[in-house]
Amino acid sequence: MKKLFAALIAVTTLACTFASCGDKPEKKASNSSSEAVSESSDTEDSGYESYEDAIGDFYRLMAEKDYDGALSVKMPKNIRDLIWFTLSQDSDGQERSVDWDEEVLDEQFGDWDYFQKLTFEEIADEIPLDEQDIGKILDSVNAEFYAIRKAAESYEVLPEPEVLGDKIDELIEQTIDRASGKLKTDLDPEYEHASEVRQFNIRLSDSHDINYFHTVLVYFVDGEGWFLLDADETETEDDWYDSTQGIGYIAEEIYPAAADVLNAMIGSNEQDLAMVDWTANMIISPDPELCYNFNQAAAKAVCEGIAEKVEGIGDVDYFVVLGDNGIQDVVIAKKDEHKFVRIFPSGLIELSDDDYVNASDMSFEQAHELAIQKME
């Protein structure tokens, strides 16, 4: 929870992050604090009747690259619009707009295309939060709401965005202790008020039917509805790294061993391998069901030769991808855990110039399916 709290305590930061991406149309924003709250978004609705709708809409909008819409899923409209104003620029003295170029997107999100390829499928299960965690999250969110609204109301005419942003930060410091999450002052009940928060493990999929799992936090704002506060991978690359430790070096040894065995068998024409068209795409594996476009008896002989050269190979399942007169990759997984794979040397399966799947994002079976899909 510490990682989540670090993000939650600064809702302003989260909002700014989500507001600084995508192709957002230019918006007019008055310098009136009341009018600025209504002009920075095309969406008039605020909040969702169900948290499931909020989650689904967020991933749908991200897949459509509708970042303005995705921001609308994150927070109530009045709050969102003021955050938008703090990010905006004076274009020509009359109209304000936010520069949503790709550089800003990359700076704010890094590998943001990861979200764009995912489709929300279902809520897998709820992850319980204890009362203390719930209290800290709600206090943090409400303190941010209070500071944002109070800052805007400090001016009859909104100042420059940077000045308003500084005022918001100042009031946040006066409202809540970031380290402990404890409120320093009573909050105005007239402002937006979050009253419920829940955490879920959700299942998503991509165009290759590969499953992904994210942990999401959603919160309910009285009189508004449900919003999505945070989303993160349930299984991180650290989980993949930890689960595949000890097999990466085996894949590295299988790669040259397979080359040596194949060259020797071709030279002696064992199993008629000298007659094989090595420009074709093939898969060799000790599991005959995994072999593709390659004689199973020949594959067995090749893998027996590999086993004589590689220590620890009995603890793993693997297949070797061949094509274009050479070995392309070795895909490997622990015998008792096909959920995680290593792919040597590429680390991924490239389906086209702009479509690939990383080893950390697929199981052993999915890697095999994608390898065949690429060949076909």
Q: Domain check: are 282 and 141 in the same one?
A: no
Q: Where among 206, 234, 262 does a domain terminate?
A: 234
d(CA 189, CA 204): 37
pLDDT band at 69 (very low <50, low <70, confident <90, very high): confident
d(CA 184, CA 142): 12
Q: Domain check: are 158 and 270 in the same one?
A: no
* Residue recorded with tokens 């693997």: 318
Query: Residues 277-292: what's their mean pLDDT?
Result: 95
Q: Domain check: are 252 and 310 in the same one?
A: yes
Residue 163's pLDDT is 92
**DSSP-H helix ranges across 218-348:** 237-244, 248-268, 296-309
pLDDT band at 16 (very low <50, low <70, confident <90, very high): very low
Q: Where among 205, 234, 263 does a domain terminate?
A: 234
Locate 325 and state its tokens. Answer: 């007169």
Neighbour tally for 183: CB within 10 Å: 16
Query: Residues 103-125: what's their mean pLDDT?
Result: 68
Q: Answer whether residue 187 shows pLDDT above 90.
A: no
pLDDT digits (tens, 9 = 90+) for 215-228: 999 999 999 999 99
pLDDT band at 112 (very low <50, low <70, confident <90, very high): low
Q: What is the three-class DSSP state of 162?
A: helix
Q: Domain check: are 327 and 292 in the same one?
A: yes
Q: How many domains does the chain have?
A: 2
Beta carbons of 309 and 257 less than 8 angstroms apart: yes
Give percent of the chain with pLDDT exceeding 70.
Answer: 80
d(CA 338, CA 201): 21
Q: Domain check: are 176 and 269 in the same one?
A: no
The domain of 202 spans 2-234
User: How many degrees, rounded to 5, is the angle at CA 225 between CA 123 and CA 40?
Assistant: 110
Residue 10's pLDDT is 38
Q: Answer whether residue 12 shows pLDDT above 60.
A: no
Cα-Cα end-to-end distance for the chain: 44
* Residue recorded with tokens 């009995």: 314
**186 phi and psi, to 5 degrees?**
-75, 145
Q: Domain check: are 63 and 46 in the same one?
A: yes
Q: What is the mean pLDDT of the chain?
A: 81
Q: Domain check: are 120 and 224 in the same one?
A: yes
